[in-house]
Amino acid sequence: MDIKAVKHLGRFKNIIVTLFRYGFDDVVERLDLPGKILIEKIRKVDREMSTWERFRHMLDDLGPTYIKFGQIMSLRPDLIPNALILELRKLQDEVAPVGYDTIRNQVENSLQLPLTQVFSSFEEKPLAAASLAQVHRAVLRDSGQVVAVKVQRPKIRQMIETDLYILELIAGQLDDRMESVRIYDLPTLVQEVKKTLLRELDFTREARHIKICRGNLSETQEVYIPQVYERYSTDRILTMELVQGTKMKELAPDDQFDREILAKRGLRLTIKQVLEDGFFHADPHPGNVIILDDNVLCVLDWGMVGRLTRRARYELIDLINAVVDKDSERILTILVNLTQVDGSIIPRRMEREILDILDIYHSLPIQELNLGQLLLDISTMLRENRLKVPVDLAVMIKALITAEGTARQLYPELNVVKEAEPYVKRLALERWKPEVLWRDLRRNLSTLFTLQRELPLRLSQIVEKIDRGELNIRFQHANLGGLRSTLENISNRLTLGIIIAALIIASSMIITTGVKPLLFGFPALGIVGYMVSGVLGLWLVFNILRSRKF
């Protein structure tokens, strides 16, 4: 355990206590965490809860970073099982607000101006308080515009960086020591969460996301995106137009809104963002949507977004057409192109699994087709066959699943295929437009000419290296962390055993000499040697028994 880990001993202790409390003793036993030996009796929670329920409550208890970790994990149906995703969606990112004086100092330090010079009024009580930030209602002094000011919690970055370091440590050890969790690729998942979470702490990115979305949706009257006031925004402060309406998650049965229109508009919004714009909201759940007059939707919280390249969107269209045609070979080819293969795949087995999935959905009337569940089944099949889905593609799958689920809650009779059809046809036709074909042709010709120009030089360099005997081939070994850890443990125990044996032999030789000073009639140095070797031997035996590897 390194010095940095020991520095965070208190936080390690909290995590270990929480793991024990929720019944994850086997996980703790496999982790080399400082402080776990000090914990003896911990009152555990009700074991009647399922494993995933206990996991969700554990994240809730561990605080903001772990709540966010769970929410971001719920965006990865390609990496974690659906039962866990359903639990993680229940995580509530609502915490007690920070005091007004602290928030005022944060705003003034970020804007480098007194609060009263920027705002004519700034309400002390927040409209909402989450783990990363809280939102206050205010009025801009220069324009009189009513705004919502999103203020980042002070010192939240330091706390998150500490927790992320611990998460990386735990994920690496679990991946090395628990075969059953390797399928989830925890180290990669934590790295992606780290990148996403640290980006979300930069409010200038969210401001830029909102600006991009406003531009993409400028021609539609069905959706409204609030304006951002960049002059009064920084990496820790986000000032935007205050939009007031009815939150979709609080929609009551007697509200005067047309649920069919809302469902269609919400689904069309996500499909347009994914297929047309290639820039989409990562988590369009009801808590992020406000309903305005005339059934207009306002989407909030643009901290997490996804992006798809034009090529990825074209491959999605090909995948949809292959699903409609029930062409399992074509589907397999597209999925392999879209994903990263981790190990070897068995094409025939995967084709059978694809056909099993397709049979279920081809037996249903088209208006009853559940696109989200189809994508989820495909994601599960990919995970079980160790095919890694690129991050943005996985986030897109989760966004579509969420959007369709929300739309069906509003209007169960919704025909998802009918709503998606115009966008699919439009994108399918776009790829064959003369200007698109000409652009692709120019790019390919440019690449070909570049290769033709550089190929002789590169071949010449390779031949020269062969002549000089300087051609090196580099091999990279993967997934050897467990073997390295085992070898280190073996060498450490062997070295300690040799030291103990040497102490015992040396002490025995000293005992026979009768050299002074004496202790109990025997040479004191020999007695001390026996005691040290005895303590080290007992400690070695204890560690072997505790690890249960004997």
Phi-psi group of 228: left, alpha or beta (phi > 0 → left; psi -120 to 50 → alpha; rest → beta):
beta
| Segments in the chain below pLDDT 70 | 1-10, 25-26, 28-48, 78-79, 92-94, 180, 183-184, 341-344, 366-368, 474-485, 545-550
Q: What count of other Cβ atoms lies within 10 Å of the Cβ of residue 404?
A: 25
Q: What is the enclosing helix (H) or strand (E) of 152? A: strand 146-152
Degrees to nearest 5, angle at CA 264 with 259 and 265: 100
The secondary structure element, H or E, covering residue 320 is: helix 310-325
Kindly list the distances between the CA atom of residue 402 and the CA atoms of 179, 273, 322, 327, 398, in Å, as whole numbers in the listed order.
31, 14, 23, 27, 6
- State the residue for tokens 């200038």: 204
CB atoms within 10 A of CB 77: 26
Give phi and psi for 300, each to the nearest 5: -115, 175
DSSP secondary structure letters along 193-253: HHHHHHHHT-HHHHHHHHHHHHHHTTT-SSEE-PPB-GGG--SSEEEEE---SEEGGG--T
Tell how far CA 332 is from the center of its chain. 26
Residue with tokens 């040697």: 529
Tokens representing 4 are 């940095």
> What pLDDT is attached to residue 63?
79
Q: With the C-alpha atoms ordered 484, 485, 490, 492, is the resulting torsion angle positive or negative?
A: positive
**In contact, 151 and 236? CB cutoff 8 Å:** yes
Q: Mind spelling out the 3-state secondary structure of 381-400?
A: HHHHCCEECCHHHHHHHHHH
- Write down the pLDDT at residue 90: 77
N-terminal to C-terminal alpha carbon distance within the chain: 23
Name the burial class of residue 191, with classes exposed (0-12), middle (13-18) and buried (19+) by CB atoms within 10 angstroms of its CB: middle
Q: How far is CA 100 from CA 83, 103, 109, 134, 136, in A?
A: 40, 5, 14, 11, 10
**CA dist., res. 489 & res. 474, Å (int):** 28
Give the whole-angstrom CA distance, residue 353 versus residue 371: 17
- Separation between Cα atoms, residue 345 and residue 14, nearest integer Å: 41
- For residues 243 and 225, give the distance between their C-alpha atoms in angstroms, rounded to a whole number: 9
Largest CA distance in the chain: 103
Amino acid at 254: D
Q: Which of 371, 466, 468, 384 is CA-nearest to residue 421?
A: 371
Q: Which amino acid is at 269?
A: L
Write the DSSP assignment of 109-140 as a string of letters.
HHHTS-HHHHEEEE-SS-SEE-SSEEEEEEEE
Would you tell me the crossing angle of helices 391-410 and 259-271 to the nearest 10 degrees? 170
DSSP state of 516: S
pLDDT of residue 59: 85
Domain coordinates of the chain in residue numbers? 3-93+158-198, 253-432, 442-471, 481-547
φ/ψ of 444, rounded to 5, equals -65, -40
Alpha-carbon span 67 to 285, nearest angstrom: 16
314, 308, 321, 270: which is closest to 433 by C-alpha? 314
Following CA atoms 87, 89, 93, 94 in sequence, which dihedral angle do they give, to the nearest 10 degrees? -80
Identify the burial level of 69 via C-beta atoms within 10 angstroms of its C-beta, where 0-12 means exposed, 13-18 middle and 19 or more buried: buried
Q: In whole angstroms, what is the distance from residue 75 CA to residue 403 CA?
A: 12
CA 208 to chain centre: 21
